[in-house]
């Protein structure tokens, strides 16, 4: 079995998309990507958009080659959209890629009205007989729907992929808060688990509810870590710098192989979501720059170069502080022409 995480927070975007090869199947899970449309009152910085373009391109390439496409739920960072904003993956990018891949989804009975609407647009890219609502095959098993984090409004399905020797489980957006989801995942006796974690960036202060949720997430992460060969935690957890420390502490306390997605690549965690304010401070751009970007009139090549430099110069140690990011950005900005911040396409 082989797998590669295409896009998630430690790789610079929102989502938990991955490609898994098992037997003769090539399985694309959660083929969506997003950037938080506003955070700290700011829209995504062009550096974020540049990385997002790369991830969208990777997802499109894998969509072409996949035998199976699984959408665990229809949030905009997990599925292509008919009405995507400039930072998401639009269905238009896929309109010429209609093939005979199987589409795996949960039953419409378990979808919200918005999910059903989005699903209907995605279905048009598949033959009706190739849409699988729940169920299993030799290589793929979908769980029954479980809660999306602490919310009961949206449900997600867990995915188990088997190749006869190894089992990989993809736990999308449970935020490690569902004991039922953990029980299902462990019942599959996985070797590898890819999951999101608790949204620490939202849980500031000392509220008793948040403390309770954090204890639950830690307890569930501990159980999984002690039961598998490799536990990869990313997505919601890595929207703030504290997420790196959380993974590091879990690894130390359990003695288990607990990683974020960037660790798998051997590259530093690129937590652009957490650095948005700093990016705007170091490389100022108008907050409404994305309007021209949505019109296709912005060239992001300089920002791709900055993102590349960040990956090259950031430490690969699992935990580092914002001072290091600040210093590296200062060095890069000293070579960056502020008059070319938002370059118009020729």
pLDDT the model gives residue 346: 44
Q: The whole model's pTM is what?
A: 0.95
C-beta of residue 299 within 8 angstroms of C-beta of residue 292:
no
Cβ neighbours for 154, distance < 8 A, ≥ 6 positions apart: 73, 75, 112, 115, 147, 148
CA distance 199 to 175: 7
Q: What is the CATH architecture assignment of 2-344? A: 4-Layer Sandwich (3.60)
Give 172-208 as a 3 state SS string.
CCCCCCCHHHHHHHHHCCCCEEEEECCCHHHCCCCCH
Strands 298-299 and 258-259: unpaired
Closest by CA position to 236, among listed 156, 144, 308, 311: 156
CB-count exposure of residue 305 (10 Å: 0-12, 13-18, 19+): middle
CA distance 40 to 237: 17
Residue boundaries of the structural domains of the chain:
2-344
pLDDT the model gives residue 210: 86
Q: What is the pLDDT along the chain (346 residues), one digit of tens a residue?
A: 999 999 999 999 999 999 999 999 999 999 999 999 999 999 999 999 999 999 999 999 999 999 999 999 999 999 999 999 999 999 999 977 766 799 999 999 999 999 999 999 999 999 889 999 998 888 999 999 999 998 888 999 999 999 988 999 999 999 999 999 999 999 999 999 999 999 999 887 668 888 899 999 999 999 999 999 999 999 999 999 999 999 999 999 999 999 999 999 988 999 999 999 999 999 999 999 999 999 999 999 999 999 999 999 998 776 678 889 999 999 998 887 655 555 555 4
Cβ neighbours for 252, distance < 8 A, ≥ 6 positions apart: none
How far is residue 29 from each of residues 66, 186, 209, 245, 267, measured CA to CA in Å? 10, 19, 32, 27, 22
C-beta of residue 169 within 8 angstroms of C-beta of residue 194:
yes
CA distance 160 to 25: 13
Closest by CA position to 154, among listed 76, 56, 81: 76
pLDDT the model gives residue 46: 96
pLDDT the model gives residue 345: 54
Count of Cβ atoms closer than 10 Å to residue 234 Cβ: 28
Strands 140-142 and 159-162: antiparallel
Strands 230-234 and 192-196: parallel
C-beta of residue 192 within 8 angstroms of C-beta of residue 175:
no
Q: How many helices (H) and strands (E) does the chain have?
A: 10, 16
């Amino acid at each position: 079995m082989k797998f590669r995480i295409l896009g998630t927070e430690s790789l610079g975007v929102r989502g938990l998309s991955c490609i898994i090869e098992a037997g003769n199947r090539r399985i694309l899970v959660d083929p969506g990507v997003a950037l938080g449309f506003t955070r700290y009152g700011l829209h995504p910085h062009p550096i974020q958009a540049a990385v997002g373009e790369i991830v969208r391109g990777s997802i499109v390439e894998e969509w072409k080659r996949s035998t199976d496409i699984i959408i665990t739920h229809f949030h905009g960072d997990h599925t292509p959209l008919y009405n995507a904003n400039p930072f998401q993956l639009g269905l238009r990018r896929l309109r010429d890629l209609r093939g005979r891949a199987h589409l795996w989804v949960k039953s419409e009975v378990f979808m919200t009205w918005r999910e059903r609407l989005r699903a209907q647009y995605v279905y048009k890219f598949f033959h009706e007989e190739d849409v699988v609502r729940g169920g299993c095959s030799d290589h793929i098993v979908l769980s029954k729907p479980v809660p999306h984090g602490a919310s009961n409004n949206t449900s997600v399905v867990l995915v188990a992929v088997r190749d006869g020797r190894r089992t990989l489980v993809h736990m999308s957006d449970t935020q490690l808060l569902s004991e039922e989801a953990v029980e299902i995942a462990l019942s599959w006796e996985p070797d590898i688990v890819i999951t999101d974690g608790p949204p620490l960036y939202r849980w500031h202060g000392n509220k008793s509810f948040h403390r309770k949720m954090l204890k639950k997430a830690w307890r569930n992460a501990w159980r999984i870590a002690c039961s598998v060969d490799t536990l990869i935690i990313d997505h919601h957890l890595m929207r703030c710098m504290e997420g790196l420390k959380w993974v590091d502490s879990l690894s130390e306390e359990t003695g288990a192989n607990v990683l974020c997605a960037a660790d798998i690549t051997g590259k530093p965690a690129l937590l652009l979501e957490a650095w948005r304010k700093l990016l705007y401070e170091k490389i100022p751009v108008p907050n409404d720059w994305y309007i021209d970007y949505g019109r296709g009139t912005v060239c992001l090549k300089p920002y791709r170069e900055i993102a590349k430099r960040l990956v090259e110069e950031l430490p690969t140690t699992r935990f580092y502080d914002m001072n290091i990011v600040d210093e590296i950005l200062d060095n890069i900005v000293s070579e960056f022409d502020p008059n070319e911040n938002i370059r118009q396409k020729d």
